[in-house]
Chain A
Amino acid sequence: MIAAISHRQIRQKLESSEADLLPPPLRRLARAAWNIQTDRKAHAQCRAALPALVDAEMDGELALFDISVREHVQTCDRCAPLYAELLELSLLDSLGRTPRITAFPSPDLSFLETSHD
């Protein structure tokens, strides 16, 4: 009789190359459920790509966007909420639902006169 696989064993397998045994949609779903990111270096790159990913979704061109970024957002518990928030803001903006300000306070732009260093 084969013993049932444990929660911990699943995690180990999803973190290893054995995860390739799973069909891609199931692998993505399982890694998202266990919050497993395979490539930590990719996190910064994906985060930088989030604004463009939001634009792609707003333009109905999500399917054309880099699959590795889309997959990362599906499985990363830090990028996913940020992505949702950015997308929500973009939608509100496109619907004109952000507050309409008639008299703006002035920004302090003195930093423009200093050096970047």
Chain B
Amino acid sequence: MEGSSEKRQREIILKTLADHGWQLAEDQEQFAVEICAEICQRGIADTTQERTAIQRAVMRHYCVILHAACAESNTSRQRRAFVELWNYLFPIALYKTHDAALAQDLAQQSLEKIWKHWVQCKDPASFLGYVRMVLINEIRDWFRKNNRATLEPIDEIVEIGTNPVSVQSGTEAERAENDDLRRQLLDVIEKCLKDPRQRAIIIESFLNECGYKEIAEMLDITVGNVHVLRHRALQTLRKCQVFIESLGDYFK
């Protein structure tokens, strides 16, 4: 039983490496053993969750290898690392710009910035996240300099699903009953924000400390939509007299 589970995990690990074209893990067997040990320690029962956890672990572990290879000086591993970074960045640049030539330019500029500033990446396990951030900044700079709006208008709310939003979920109501502050805040938010999605986002974000991803899944919208709705809700709250007065009560 244990053997078949390890075999399945190993297959996912090797497939994840192959799908990304990641070749810098010299000893793939050892690489797989380390990840299997980590996953076993976490004891994930659900196979879908296990697959996601393995893929995330592969990415984290591989980021460390990639980061170290980028730091080498004029070696074939360093060249390979930058080719892999290119293969990672170019599709993202294409997705964001919808223009192959521009995507190529921006991915190239990002590669050079990464090479110059890779020491600024404080956490090698998040190296691909750092790399993505460099690219996004390059893309934003380009659009700003060329006075062009981003191709994905952040003001546009795209519905992914039609799940109804219930601000007064069971757990929400239970928590609110036991907490005066929460009740008071819920009351203010209810009065100030008419859009149930905006209410839900403010409550989940500030009262329940949920992240964008969790909220997006809850409301069946994209992370970008969560950000836009949150931004609008905060603007509304700032102008809302009920909210201002509730703050004023604390400052009396």
Contacts and interface: CB of A to CB of B under 8 A. Distances in A.
B154 A81 contact: yes
Nearest to A96: B19
A32 to B, nearest CB: 5
B222 A107 contact: no
A48 B134 CA distance: 11
B219 interface: no
B227 A29 contact: no
B223 A84 contact: yes
Contacts of B226: 84
Interface in B190-248: 202, 205-207, 209-214, 216, 222-224, 226-227, 230-231, 234-235, 237-238, 243-248
Interface stretch (B3-11, B23-31, B82-90, B162-170): B82-90
A86 B212 CA distance: 11
A50 B91 contact: no
Contacts of A87: 211-213, 223
B119 to A, nearest CB: 10
B224 A26 contact: no
A85 B95 CA distance: 13
Interface size class for chain B?
35 or more
A90 interface: yes
Contacts of B243: 33
A99 B126 contact: no
Contacts of A80: 227, 230-231
B237 A33 contact: yes
Chain A contact-residue range equals 35 or more
B87 A58 contact: no
B99 to A, nearest CB: 12
B206 A28 contact: yes
A32 B125 CA distance: 30
Interface string A75-117: 0010011111111111111100011110011011101110010
A46 to B, nearest CB: 11
B143 interface: no
Contact of A57 (B91, B120, B132, B213): B213
Contact of A49 (B55, B86, B122): B122
Contact of A29 (B206, B214, B231, B245): B206
* Nearest 3 interchain pairs by C-beta: A51-B129, A5-B248, A84-B227
Interface of A: 2, 4-5, 7, 9-10, 13, 18, 21-23, 25-26, 28-30, 32-34, 48-52, 54-55, 57-59, 62-63, 70, 74, 77, 80-94, 98-101, 104-105, 107-109, 111-113, 116
6 contacts: A33-B243, A51-B133, A88-B224, A89-B136, A98-B91, A111-B115
